[in-house]
Chain A
Amino acid sequence: MERYRGNPRAVENLVQGHAVHRDVYVDREIFDLEMEQLFPNSWVYVGHESQLKNPGDYITCKIGHQPILVSRHKNGTIHVLHNRCPHKGVKIASEPCGNTGKFFRCPYHAWSFKTDGSLLAIPLKKGYEGTGFEADKASKGLPRVENVQIYRGFIFARLSDTGLSFEEYFGDSLSTIDNMVDRSPQGEVEIIAAPIRYMHTCNWKMLVDNQTDTCHPMVAHESSAGTAVSVWEREKHRFTETPMAVQLYAPFMSPYEFYEGAGIRVWPNGHGHSGVSGSIHQDYDDVEGYLDMMVEAYGETRAREILGDIRHNTLYFPNVMVKGPVGILRNFIPIAVDKTLVESWAFRLVGAPDKIYERALMYNRFINAPTSIVGHDDLEMYERAQEGLLSDANEWINLRRLYEEGEPEDVTEVVNGTSERQMRNTFYAWRKFMVQGMDQKVEASA
């Protein structure tokens, strides 16, 4: 029986501010509605311009569960297309990335398309003459996603024809992307390698919640970061300097007071970040020569301002996290209600010393890999939650830490860094984008 489709009030009731109903994590119908409503209504990250350097370059991805193709056309423009042949629905591109040359060609019946998606040719086309084919959707080529925005190289798309504009949707949260890009002396970042991929048997929002969960590191990561600290304390007499690895692990064990003071900032539409005035990324060794490059590029004041912004995790609603000071973007790709593919990308700061990219790659494999001990800690918690939520003893997830009655939604605010404010902020947005347009659909089908 369908409880939520066509029933926006029931969906809204799942989010009570200080608590959310477990169905947001475990219910299959809710997951289907996220695919039908939430993801199409949101601006979703689909890739980075540096992955499409040359005409004919393409990448494939998904928005919700829909297959997407992002392509660089011969005139340099980037197009976001639906990755399905207008004829029989065959996926046009099957690899994560590649170069298609001057056109895409469906491997089934050789329909071909220009790299902007428009129909190029159909074999034996006279078979369609006088059949009314011109009026078919199929005659228009690969369906194009119209709402596309490239912000400093980051490509976002919104499937729904209506909804918030890109600027309204992201607002000031784009400052985290700005900071990551500004950390390049040339103001440019690039992807030059594949992501680390990690399969999670849990709902995608468990990862979203975790990005600003500052009360878990010293507990869940005691086994990894805590052991790293204790091994280091025992062995450090053999070293002349603190290895990069220890610098990356040790701050996870910072006490509650540290995270409280570091702050959390929320923005409208579900975006937010931990680490406002301090973060676990603040005490890494300087990389030789880097500050000089930055001062030369931006001037002393601006350079120090850029490098002094050490935000921890910025959650871009719905499913992307950006870690500016390290140069990492994580994409939480929903596969099923209890299955999430996590792809973690390291960015190279163009013009910066190699050591900075080395650190991004090291951080990525320490924290975000199936072979990462910090990852092992987190995934264990997500999996246990996914199973534990099946208990009927309590159908609600508690999000009340530092909650205030009547908490404003869709505002910019800086709060205590151990607050669950950003998780609540995410769910206010979740509620909004889940039901957007749902009433109209109900009316249309009535």
Chain B
Amino acid sequence: MSPEQLIDFVYEEAATLDEMRWEDWLALFHQDGLYWMPLEWQQQDPVLQPSLMYEDQLLLTVRVERLSGERTFSQKPKSRCHHLMQRPRVLSLGQEDGIYRLRTSFIYTETRGDNLERYSGWVSHELVEVEGALKIMLKRVDLINFDAPFGNLQLFI
């Protein structure tokens, strides 16, 4: 994969979220892929240190199906989101372990009804190639103010 293809993938992933194409978004994950939102600065361990999110495909599927549920009252009205991203930095082309690594600076906006919240940080992607397509092994979202108390953050950064 060329750096351009990797960068395009990161932009496309954000587009699936901004366009609320949840199923398409889920399909970008490897079957063993994980979404991680740490609760510590430069956190190393997602299991024995507290995180805001650390979820596999099963749990991400629950989130996606919940969003469209008839009795999902916290989505009446529905939320929308917007990712504003700096050009991703390609950190590794996977020469050693077959994992492509990128890091992208972002401003994320989530709205619901009259409310609008902004979050800033960095998203790190670990991608692998499966039958010619890129898949997410790990999407890690480090918020600049991970330790601040937020209200409901219902969609996906």
Contact = CB atoms under 8 A, between A and B. Distances in A.
Contact of A199 (B40, B51, B65, B150): B150
Secondary structure at chain A's binding surface: helix, strand, loop or mixed? helix
B50 A193 contact: yes
Nearest to B54: A365
Interface residues of B, number: 32
B133 interface: no
Contact of B65 (A198, A220, A231): A231
A341 interface: yes
A152 interface: no
Most buried by A among B49, B62, B65, B153: B62
Contacts of B69: 222-223, 226-227
Contacts of A342: 149
Interface in A333-382: 341-343, 346, 354, 357-358, 361-362, 364-365, 369-371, 373, 375-377, 379-381
Nearest to B76: A380
B63 interface: yes
B52 A370 contact: yes
A237 to B, nearest CB: 12
A245 interface: yes
Given A231-B65, A361-B48, A376-B154, A222 B149 contact: no
A91 interface: no
Contacts of A376: 74, 152, 154
Contacts of A432: none
A140 interface: no
Given A370-B150, A377-B73, A227 B66 contact: yes
Nearest to A223: B72
Given A341-B149, A371-B153, A364 B50 contact: yes
A95 to B, nearest CB: 11
A226 B69 CA distance: 10
B152 A375 contact: yes
B151 A379 contact: yes
A235 B60 CA distance: 13
Given A194-B40, A231-B65, A379 B53 contact: no
Nearest to A346: B50
B50 A379 contact: no
Interface in B64-80: 65-66, 69, 71-75
B86 interface: no
B58 A231 contact: yes
B47 interface: yes
B19 interface: no
B149 A197 contact: yes
A169 interface: no
Given A231-B62, A370-B151, A196 B48 contact: no
A432 B51 CA distance: 39
A126 to B, nearest CB: 44
A199 B53 CA distance: 17
A83 B69 CA distance: 47
B51 A365 contact: yes
B52 A365 contact: yes
A160 interface: no
A393 B66 CA distance: 34
B115 to A, nearest CB: 9
A294 B69 CA distance: 43
A381 B71 CA distance: 13
Given A194-B40, A376-B74, A379-B152, A369 B52 contact: yes
A200 interface: yes
B22 to A, nearest CB: 13
A243 interface: yes
A358 B150 CA distance: 23
B153 A373 contact: no
Contact of A198 (B50, B73, B150, B154): B150
Interface of B: 37, 39-40, 47-54, 58-59, 61-63, 65-66, 69, 71-75, 147-154
Can you list the 6 inter-chain pairs with the closest CB atoms, starting with the nearest? A197-B149, A380-B74, A223-B72, A370-B150, A199-B149, A376-B74
Interface of A: 193-201, 220, 222-224, 226-228, 230-232, 235, 243, 245-246, 249, 341-343, 346, 354, 357-358, 361-362, 364-365, 369-371, 373, 375-377, 379-381
17 contacts: A197-B148, A197-B150, A198-B151, A222-B71, A227-B65, A227-B69, A243-B58, A342-B149, A357-B48, A361-B48, A365-B54, A373-B63, A375-B152, A376-B152, A376-B154, A377-B74, A379-B152
Given A193-B40, A223-B73, 14 more contacts: A193-B49, A197-B148, A198-B149, A223-B71, A226-B71, A227-B62, A227-B65, A227-B66, A228-B62, A230-B65, A231-B61, A341-B149, A365-B50, A371-B53
